[in-house]
Amino acid sequence: MIEKTKETQKKPAHETEGVERTRAAQIYRPDVDIIEKKDSILLIADMPGVDEKTVDITLEKDILTIYGRVDVDVADNLELVHREYGTGDYQRIFTISDEINRDGIKATVKNGILQLLLPKAEVAKTKKIPVHAET
């Protein structure tokens, strides 16, 4: 079996117009996988260093915002002389449709991987229509 590898780089997030941050940190745009299932949409975001206490998910009207804060701990008696991996906060913004049941959205995070389960509303679910023969 041939194994494919993909090098990824952190991508800086685009500035959001009208948003002011009080924290002086680089903001990255995390990679996200979106998987559509029969009854839901699963969103998986890679956010290393983020846990349940440092992630904030808001839904205002049709705008779903994910914001993760990463705090870098450096011991007091140490001085950083070289860094190969940039650290900073994460942010992604999505526009969701009325096909999502907003009251049923669930979020979990483990080992820096955020999973959002967006259940589909009843009107958006595929329905099988039975066909009967006329007699």
Size of the chain, expressed as the number of residues it contains: 135
Rg (CA), the chain: 20
Residue 100: how many other CB atoms lie within 10 Å: 19
> pLDDT, tens digit, for every residue of 32-70?
999 999 899 999 999 998 999 999 999 999 999 999 998
For the segment 70-96, the average pLDDT, to the nearest whole number, is: 83
Among 49-53, 80-84, 92-96, the minimum mean pLDDT is found in 80-84
Residue 87: how many other CB atoms lie within 10 Å: 14
Mind listing the domains of the chain with CATH numbers?
Answer: 26-73+85-124 (2.60.40.790)
- The answer to whether 92 and 34 are in contact (CB under 8 A) is no
Q: Using 50, 70 and 90 to split pLDDT, how confident is the model at 1?
A: very low
**Separation between Cα atoms, residue 7 and residue 106, nearest integer Å:** 30
Taking the whole predicted model, whether its pTM rises above 0.85 is answered as no
Sort strands 27-29 and 89-95 into parallel, antiparallel or unpaired: parallel
pLDDT on residue 64: 96
